A and B are shown apart, each in its own frame.
Chain A
Amino acid sequence: MNRLNPYKLAALAASLLLAAAPAYSAEKLKVGMMLPFTGTYAKLGATIKNGFKLYVQQQGGSLGGREIEYVEVDSEANPAKAVDNVNKLILQHNVDVLLGSVHSGVALAMAKRAKESGKLLIVPNAGADGVTGPLCAPNIFRTSFSNWQTGYAIGKAMAEDGHKRAVAVTWKYGSGEEQLKGFKEAFEKGGGKVIEELFVPFPNVEFQAVLTQVAAAKPDAVYSFFAGAGAVKFVKDYAAAGLKGSFPLYGTGFLTDGTLEAQGADAQGVKTALHYADQLGTPTDNAFRAAYSKAYGDQPDVYAVQGYDAAQLLKVGLTATGGDPKKSAEFAAAVRKATFDSPRGPFTISKSHNPIQDMYLREVKGDVNKVVRVVVKALEDPGRGCSMK
């Protein structure tokens, strides 16, 4: 019998590997999507899902050698049902990866369960600081933003625009208060002073009382946090109360994202900060927007970007671990080293697993949020309370 030469050995090894590969990838990777598919946030849930699936399709339906299959659970953006829903995904469907959610309360519950069970969790929207703060874990990642980041960016921009005295108006609940904290930190660091903080109970949309208080306080500018229908109504009421001409309106990006059509002329000139903007014009963004609108017949938004990047993150981790999301340490090490080529611009992942990203100041012009400038380059969330350093 001929002695095996090195070439033959290599060929044999390769054929063995090839034979083994399909056997391994025959076992599909189950991604459990826990997103709001009904209710107020239904559209956000749908675009996150579309963004995620778009990337997976572009990769030929598999990431890191594992074919992807989906299990969907409607989170209803209801924190009271979050624990049951996430248990359903973990115990009943036995998913490999958790993807969710939009609502911060739901995401916090998911993060708690992920931390206990060691299941990989990717958060494609909810900004609750706690997810990458006290609840941070090697197996928990976020591809969106932290509330602190968005508030900090707009606070810096307002101070840079020369405003000294600001009134803050926000919904009184977790996200609103966390963003307010970030805003105050940067605005006061820049030499500004918050002269009055006004709260509206969530999800109340009766703003006349606080608008009257704004007029009485006569600030240089107004900071605000509202989202969805509340954002539409606040911007319209602000203009109707005659305040738009007197006090420039600023806010975190949610004030004018996905709402411009309904806000119409009243939103013109409103300035907001976010990690994404319309018409960025980078090659990655252009390619993403073209692919998305071709696949779904609709323009993508920031939520679609976050879903898309969640799939990118999953690919990086799976490639490094040979398709095994349970190897948390290797997965995390690979993700921390990677630079993600996102439609928003390149970003990396911090030690507490939140994106380190450029924050844009945008101004509403026509029906788009146009970039004015980059307010903070590579803004990193301080990850307060996180033990991974």
Chain B
Amino acid sequence: MDLTTFLIQCLNAFQYGLLLFLVASGLTLIFGIMGVINLAHGSFYMIGAYLAYALAPVVASAIGGGFFATLLVGVVLSVVFGYLLEWAFYSYLYERDHLQQVLMTYGLILVFEELRSLLVGDNVYSVEIPQVLAGSIPLSEVMTYPTYRLFVSAICLVLVGAMFWVFARTRLGMMIRAGASNREMVQSLGIDISFLYRVVFAAGFALAAFAGMVAAPVSTVYPGMGGEVLIICFVVVVIGGIGSIQGALVAALLIGFVDTFGKVLVPGAAGVMVYLAMALILLWKPDGLFKAG
């Protein structure tokens, strides 16, 4: 491998890692901070991707269209949907044990998949890359890099910054962190914890759906797409340390590098490299890299 190829592979790894963080960030909120084992997280991602596909013609006929307008409408819809979902289902789960959480969220996966099948069908669809970002940048004499992928990386970086800022610097972030460590105490201090959690859940849902929408043009939209990201999301959150945002970021980047260089260096065993890395890290640090609290 020459230097150019190595550098391009590093860019691939970095870019994939950021994309993983984007997808896993919602799970960090819901599983890591609120403590609900949410198997339906992959479905939230899938819903986002299908929103990007299905909303585009609707938005186009209503307000003239455009990828970014679709994105905005999609985020607003998913915040509302996430809020309702928490009110209807997830709010009953906080006090329950993990088995019941797993059962209900698994049930939701089946429901969402069937709804998807009924409403949109079982075909594979692609979502157009917005015109302004459709180009690509030459990297070597034969290889080019799609601009849209760089744009996705930029979005991820902005999101990383925003999440850190909210959690470390704002009052809302402080309340969420306090609620995560002691729910009753926060409640007795006069903070409406149920409402707060509803908001956090809606944000987690919206993050996953947003990730699905942003990833749709590069990943295509297909049945079962949620199941595939779910596992890798859990790997990221567990390696990073439950409840830690910087942990999730470091873990996502690490997985990006392990996966990319696994495919390059040991093509025959690329599939197990990620899980091997997870096993080794958990042997070394059973609580993950950055255990919160």
Interface of B is mostly: helix
Identify B268's interface contact among A172, A232, A240, CB under 8 A.
A172
Q: Report the bound CA distance from A318 to B200 in whole Å.
A: 63
Q: Report the bound CA distance from A197 to B2 in whole Å.
A: 18
List residues of chain B with CB within 8 A of the CB of A197: 267
- Contacting residues of chain B (259-274) with chain A, CB-CB under 8 angstroms: 259-261, 263-264, 267-268, 270-271
Q: Report the bound CA distance from A259 to B220 in whole Å.
A: 11
List residues of chain B with CB within 8 A of the CB of A198: 263, 267
Classify chain A: how many residues form its interface, as a range.
35 or more
- Contacting residues of chain B (18-72) with chain A, CB-CB under 8 angstroms: none
- Contacting residues of chain B (112-145) with chain A, CB-CB under 8 angstroms: 113-114, 117, 121-126, 136, 138, 140, 142-145
**Are A242 and B260 neighbours in the complex by a CB distance under 8 Å?**
no
List residues of chain A with CB within 8 A of the CB of B260: 208-209
| Chain A residue at minimal CB-CB distance from B127 | A262
Q: Report the bound CA distance from A258 to B15 in whole Å.
A: 30
- Contacting residues of chain A (191-220) with chain B, CB-CB under 8 angstroms: 197-206, 208-213, 215-216, 218
Q: A40-B223, A229-B222 are in contact. Are A246 and B12 (CB under 8 A)?
A: no
| Chain A residue at minimal CB-CB distance from B217 | A236
**Are A242 and B124 neighbours in the complex by a CB distance under 8 Å?**
no
Q: A206-B259, A242-B144, A243-B143 are in contact. Are A212 and B8 (CB under 8 A)?
A: yes
Q: Report the bound CA distance from A4 to B115 in whole Å.
A: 70
Q: A232-B126, A243-B143, A262-B126 are in contact. Are A199 and B264 (CB under 8 A)?
A: no
List residues of chain A with CB within 8 A of the CB of B142: 215, 218, 242-243, 246-247
Classify chain B: how many residues form its interface, as a range.
35 or more
For the complex, is B107 an interface residue (Cβ under 8 Å from A)? no
Identify A229's interface contact among B225, B259, B261, CB under 8 A.
B225
**Are B124 and A241 neighbours in the complex by a CB distance under 8 Å?**
no
**Are A204 and B5 neighbours in the complex by a CB distance under 8 Å?**
no
For the complex, is A281 an interface residue (Cβ under 8 Å from B)? no
| Chain B residue at minimal CB-CB distance from A171 | B271
Q: A216-B2, A232-B124, A240-B146 are in contact. Are A208 and B264 (CB under 8 A)?
A: no
**Are A212 and B220 neighbours in the complex by a CB distance under 8 Å?**
no
For the complex, is B189 an interface residue (Cβ under 8 Å from A)? no
**Are B222 and A199 neighbours in the complex by a CB distance under 8 Å?**
no
**Are A262 and B264 neighbours in the complex by a CB distance under 8 Å?**
no
Q: Report the bound CA distance from A205 to B220 in whole Å.
A: 10
Q: A39-B223, A233-B219 are in contact. Are A212 and B143 (CB under 8 A)?
A: yes
List residues of chain B with CB within 8 A of the CB of A205: 219-220, 228
List residues of chain A with CB within 8 A of the CB of B271: 172, 201-202, 204
For the complex, is A228 an interface residue (Cβ under 8 Å from B)? yes
**Are B144 and A241 neighbours in the complex by a CB distance under 8 Å?**
yes
**Are B9 and A215 neighbours in the complex by a CB distance under 8 Å?**
no
Smallest beta-carbon distance A201→chain B, Å: 3
For the complex, is A293 an interface residue (Cβ under 8 Å from B)? no
- Contacting residues of chain B (270-292) with chain A, CB-CB under 8 angstroms: 270-271
Q: A206-B16, A241-B144 are in contact. Are A201 and B219 (CB under 8 A)?
A: no
| Chain A residue at minimal CB-CB distance from B222 | A229
Q: Report the bound CA distance from A166 to B138 in whole Å.
A: 23
**Are A228 and B270 neighbours in the complex by a CB distance under 8 Å?**
no
**Are A236 and B220 neighbours in the complex by a CB distance under 8 Å?**
yes
List residues of chain B with CB within 8 A of the CB of A40: 122, 222-224
- Contacting residues of chain B (127-176) with chain A, CB-CB under 8 angstroms: 136, 138, 140, 142-146, 149
Q: Report the bound CA distance from A39 to B1 in whole Å.
A: 39
Q: Report the bound CA distance from A202 to B270 in whole Å.
A: 10
Identify A233's interface contact among B2, B122, B140, B220, CB under 8 A.
B220
**Are A240 and B136 neighbours in the complex by a CB distance under 8 Å?**
yes
Identify B145's interface contact among A213, A228, A241, A261, CB under 8 A.
A241
**Chain A interface residues toward B at CB < 8 A:** 38-40, 42-43, 46, 172, 197-206, 208-213, 215-216, 218, 228-229, 232-233, 236-237, 240-243, 246-247, 258-259, 261-264
Q: A-B pairs with the 4 shortest C-beta distances?
A: A201-B271, A242-B144, A229-B222, A215-B143
Q: Enumerate 10 A-B pairs (CB-CB under 8 Å) in ascending A order.
A: A40-B222, A46-B122, A204-B271, A208-B12, A209-B264, A232-B126, A242-B138, A262-B124, A262-B125, A264-B126
**Chain B interface residues toward A at CB < 8 A:** 1-2, 5, 8-9, 12-13, 15-16, 113-114, 117, 121-126, 136, 138, 140, 142-146, 149, 218-220, 222-225, 228, 259-261, 263-264, 267-268, 270-271
Having A216-B5, A243-B142, one finds 20 other A-B pairs with CB under 8 Å, namely: A42-B223, A197-B267, A203-B228, A205-B220, A206-B16, A208-B12, A209-B264, A211-B143, A212-B12, A213-B263, A215-B140, A216-B1, A216-B2, A229-B222, A229-B225, A232-B126, A236-B126, A241-B144, A246-B142, A259-B124
